Amino acid sequence: MFALPRILPKKSPQVSFAFSQEATTPTLGYEPSDERAFFRIDTEIAVRYRPLRADRQSPERQWLAVNLSGGGISFEITPPLQVGEKAWLELELSDRSAPVRCLAEVVRLFTAENGAQHAAFSFDTLAPRDQDRIIAFCLAEQRKALRERVRVRMA
């Protein structure tokens, strides 16, 4: 007979998510991405970041290829950062409103295929309103990509 999994809450200071008990037990083929609360998109936006260390200057605003979600962002970095280091981020979404500003923590460093150094950031102090804007932006970008894919297949 079909049995519903018991729902266990995962609490955070800002948002509460529900995960099933089955999803929290390790399984063969487990991937860290399975625990992400938000889907991610690859896009280009204007980004400015400034590490909290006082001896570093803020890079100028740059249009960068990023991987973005409601929980974090990853992009190419010029000055090297360390895992655990915090930085102020300013993201300009294409919705013509004020930039999203928040504090974020470097959770992973990796080298892209082209040899460029990338950092993955987790948003620390993101206002719920700004998180909603990022999620809406991601959904809009995903819709654009899907529409384009349909046009290409029909052509």
CA 2 to chain centre: 36
pLDDT of residue 53 exceeding 80: no
pTM more than 0.85: no
Alpha-carbon distance of 57 to 136, in angstroms, equals 31
The per-type count for the chain, helices as H runs and strands as E runs, is 2, 8
pLDDT of residue 19 exceeding 90: no
Q: What is the residue-averaged pLDDT of the chain?
A: 78
For residue 49, which phi and psi values (nearest 5 degrees)? Answer: -140, 150
pLDDT of residue 37 exceeding 50: yes
Structural domains for the chain: 36-154 (2.40.10.220)
Alpha-carbon distance of 79 to 98, in angstroms, equals 26
Alpha-carbon distance of 133 to 35, in angstroms, equals 22
Q: Would you call 22 helix, strand, or coil by DSSP? A: helix
pLDDT of residue 43 exceeding 70: yes
